[in-house]
Amino acid sequence: MLVLINLDSAVQRRQAMARQLERCALAFDRVGVDLRCVRPYEVQAQIQSRFPRLRFDRKTLSDAEIGCWLSHLTAWQRLLQKGDQVSCCTVIEDDLTLLPGFANVVKALCGRRQQDAAFGAHEDSNLDLIYLGTSSRSVSQRCRTQINGLWVHKPLGIIYNTWGYTISRVYATRFFASGPRLIRLPIDHFLGGRGGRAGPRIGVLQPPILVEDPVLGAASQIGPYTRRLDRSHLIENVRRRILASPLSEFYYTLYRYL
């Protein structure tokens, strides 16, 4: 099962992703909850109608970030509606370049039945969520496990994006069954390691099978609608330049030995 996160207004992004997925011969669902320019009572109405057991801290999260949460949660909800024969779901955003092998990896991760155990048959590989590509480079090169012929590495820091990931039915079920919950973190922070005991057990696929499109990725759809400093255009540009610099290459060579 594959779900594309894409807002109704993002036509160019949708067309670009649809062309890539068509070349991969992959069917997909599309989800997009856009709360960027709606009235406060409409935001609360959307939350109540879709996920009445959840509450969002409106002081720390912008409406756009809540819309992003609802989009991803809707994808998880659709996974649960598919029945036990579908053990996991791949969720991708709409500003990506899919690399060769994407379709084969998605099928390898999502093509197994629930009784095969989520993401592997032993404890070390019993992960809830596997990132298929990330801008975060704090990933161990030594602590890794092989899952269905794929190498999944242990992150040594927070993963700060939700470009694309595969999530297990087990975790989605646990998340929705945990009772009323107050959400204070953006979804990338929550999933990437700051969610505490409520967050998923994560791994990072290497080599990646997707990367951010340099043009579409730079035009953030959330940045102008959030108070987060790390989403500002200036800081995003600085971060991108540092990651692409020789200094970054030197620093992250340390992770080869961790």
Q: Quickly count: other Cβ atoms within 10 Å of residue 22's Cβ.
A: 11
Q: Which two tokens stand for residue 165?
A: 């990931």
* CATH code of the domain covering residue 187: 3.90.550
pLDDT at residue number 115: 36
pLDDT at residue number 234: 60
* Domain containing residue 9: 2-257
pLDDT at residue number 110: 77
Q: Which residues, 6+ apart, have CB-to-CB distance to 40 below 8 Å? A: 58, 63
pLDDT at residue number 116: 44
Q: What is the CA radius of gyration of the chain?
A: 18
pLDDT along the chain (258 residues), means of 10: 96 96 96 93 94 93 95 97 90 97 92 45 69 92 91 93 95 89 93 94 96 83 65 61 68 68
- DSSP alpha helix (H) spans, the chain: 11-23, 40-50, 63-81, 102-110, 169-177, 187-189, 214-218, 233-243, 246-252
Our CA dihedral for 18, 19, 23, 27, rounded to 10 degrees, sits at: 10
pLDDT at residue number 230: 61
* pTM assigned to the model: 0.87
Count of domains observed in the chain:
1
